[in-house]
């Protein structure tokens, strides 16, 4: 079956479009109408006219950055793009994974498709051809300060379009030119401005932001479901989620979270309590207020990310319609940096919330009669088994690491490139930090989910729960058996983390 396609023709794409291309649930289809092709080629033709007239164009007849005062003789202009992607081939660190690389390529082609970058339609076709065959540049993650855009990471895309460097193809690292030769793909010689147009933009950070948004939205829902289960396991006060209560502090996301918890707790009452508590600890009572911050922030994160996704963000901007070359700073990734710095803080708070919830569940001083460490061992074996003791320690470690990474990257601007790039966004570092915080929080969620399912079973036995909670218990038990005797849980945790990352479990409409 052929996957449905996302059309790239200068119209707006969504976060979901980029994620679906990245995850190969949809393909990318480049627009092929004469109108679209003419609009793209018009910018390249305008630059050709300017060159014939010996126009002065940054990055075409000049050097780059601080070298913009260095004139490039017309006979060397054709070599400038190759030099640009060549000297930027200094990235280090791990490579972006396959989904991240597809997302970067999809974001870049969409920006170029806006028609203000002075590139040929043929260049867009070359990028779409790589995606069509799943020929993915090996792009190191480290080396971008987020202005002038993602120069070093995107140099690897530019070099691959020209048949250079290495790609991942059919699961193997191969020389680009070998793959091209086998598939009869001709390397593209980049025209003046085309190397700059590919590299001088925010595609890497924006692609990572799209993937981060999708993961953060799912984690908000999963943490809500976990909170409902914790409330059952700890015999919590369902009144903390009362509709009238939340109507007097009307943050929309917070109200949504409380409503979801009410739905989860909809059957009869929570297990009978044997004390006089009116108020649960904050990690239960205030869960909608904590998760609600992320829920309320997701729409404006989307606005920042999708505006960047659908923008022309290189320099200079080529306004062929009005015959102008506009020099500016659209490569600056400040909006993505701010969104990612903000998102990672909201997500880390989810990790901290689940860490506190798990700490209550395992501690007999606070769990209202559950076995210590949620051990499922029978009485004669109880002294030997330690249940989730080590898991709770590990969750604290993952949470601490997530919280440590919440220092905003954007405030660490460094003056670079002979003080030409004297204030930079650090957007790509912020996005990478955010993905790491998401990864750690997914680990916390997997551990807390497995533990709270055990806690609910220990508390409730065969007592009826709402359809939502019953479904989650059964879905977890499909993969992770009840923990009666101590066993290593690493593989179960890794399995659940993968299911969370794949958004395998349906949660709320």
DSSP state of 2: P
Q: What SS3 class is residue 373? A: helix
DSSP state of 380: G
**Rg of the chain on CA atoms, in Å:** 26
Active site residue 282: no
Q: Which residues contact 294 (CB under 8 A, 6 or more apart)?
A: 216, 219, 220, 253, 343, 346, 347, 349, 350
Residue that the structure tokens 């660490």 belong to:
412
Q: Which residues contact 250 (CB under 8 A, 6 or more apart)?
A: none
Dist CA 336 CA 302 (whole Å): 10
Residues 139/153, Cβ–Cβ less than 8 Å: yes
If phi > 0 it is left, if psi is from -120 to 50 it is alpha, else beta; for residue 477 that is alpha
Answer positive or negative: Cα dihedral of 118, 119, 120, 121: negative
Inter-axis angle of helices 334-362 and 389-404, nearest 10: 160
Q: Which residues contact 126 (CB under 8 A, 6 or more apart)?
A: 161, 188
Which among 58, 64, 218, 282 is annotated as catalytic? Answer: 58
Which own/partner pairs from 129-132 qualify as long-range (CB within 8 Å, at least 24 positions apart)? 129/185, 130/105, 130/160, 130/161, 130/167, 131/21, 131/27, 131/28, 131/102, 131/105, 131/106, 132/27, 132/28
Dist CA 34 CA 71 (whole Å): 36
Dihedral (C-alpha) 170, 140, 443, 473: value to the nearest 10 degrees?
A: -30
CA angle 378, 380, 386 (to 5 degrees): 65
Q: 174: closest CA among 164, 185, 161, 159? A: 164
Q: What SS3 class is residue 6? A: strand
Dist CA 326 CA 317 (whole Å): 5
Q: How many CB atoms lie within 10 A of CB 252?
A: 11
Active site positions, annotated: 58
């Amino acid at each position: 079956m052929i996957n449905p396609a996302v059309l790239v023709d200068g119209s707006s794409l969504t976060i979901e479009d980029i994620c679906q291309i990245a995850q190969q649930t949809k393909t990318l289809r480049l627009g092929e109408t004469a109108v679209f092709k003419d609009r793209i080629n018009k910018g390249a033709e305008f630059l050709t006219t300017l060159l014939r007239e010996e126009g002065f164009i940054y990055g075409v007849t000049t050097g780059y950055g601080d070298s913009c005062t260095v004139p490039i003789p017309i006979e060397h202009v054709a070599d400038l793009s190759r030099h640009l992607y060549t000297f930027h081939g200094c990235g280090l660190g791990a490579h972006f994974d396959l989904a991240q690389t597809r997302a970067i390529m999809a974001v870049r082609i969409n920006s170029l498709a806006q028609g203000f970058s002075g590139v040929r339609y043929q260049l867009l076709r070359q990028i779409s051809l790589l995606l069509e065959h799943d020929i993915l540049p090996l792009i190191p993650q480290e080396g971008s300060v987020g202005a002038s855009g993602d120069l070093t990471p995107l140099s690897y895309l530019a070099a691959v379009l020209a048949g250079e460097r290495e790609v991942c193809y059919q699961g193997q690292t191969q020389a680009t030119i070998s793959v091209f030769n086998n598939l009869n793909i001709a390397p593209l010689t980049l025209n003046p401005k085309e190397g700059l147009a590919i590299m001088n933009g925010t595609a890497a950070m924006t692609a990572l932001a799209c993937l981060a948004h999708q993961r953060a939205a799912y984690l908000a829902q999963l943490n809500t479901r976990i909170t409902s289960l914790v409330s059952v396991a700890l015999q919590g006060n369902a009144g903390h989620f009362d509709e009238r209560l939340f109507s007097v502090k009307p943050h929309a996301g917070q109200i949504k979270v409380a409503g979801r918890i009410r739905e989860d707790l909809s059957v009869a009452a929570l297990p009978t309590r044997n004390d006089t508590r009116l108020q649960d600890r904050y990690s239960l009572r205030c869960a909608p207020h904590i998760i609600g911050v992320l829920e309320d922030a997701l729409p404006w994160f989307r606005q920042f990310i999708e505006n960047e996704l659908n923008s022309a963000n290189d320099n200079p901007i080529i306004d062929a319609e009005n015959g102008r070359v506009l020099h500016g700073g659209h490569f600056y990734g400040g909006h993505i940096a701010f969104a990612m710095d903000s998102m990672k803080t909201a997500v880390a708070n989810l990790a901290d919330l689940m860490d506190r919830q798990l700490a209550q569940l395992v501690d007999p001083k606070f769990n209202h009669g559950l076995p210590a460490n949620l051990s499922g061992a029978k009485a004669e074996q109880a002294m030997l088994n330690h249940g989730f003791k080590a898991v709770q320690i590990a969750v604290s470690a993952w949470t601490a690491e997530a919280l440590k990474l919440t220092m905003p990257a954007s405030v660490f601007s460094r003056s670079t490139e002979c003080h030409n790039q004297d204030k930079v966004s650090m957007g790509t570092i912020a996005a990478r930090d955010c993905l790491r915080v998401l990864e750690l929080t997914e680990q916390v969620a997997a551990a807390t989910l497995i533990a709270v399912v055990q806690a609910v079973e220990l508390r409730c036995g065969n007592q009826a729960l709402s359809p939502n909670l019953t479904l989650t218990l059964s879905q977890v038990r499909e993969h992770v058996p009840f923990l009666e005797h101590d066993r290593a849980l690493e593989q179960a945790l890794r399995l659940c983390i993968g299911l969370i990352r794949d958004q395998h479990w349906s949660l709320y409409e």
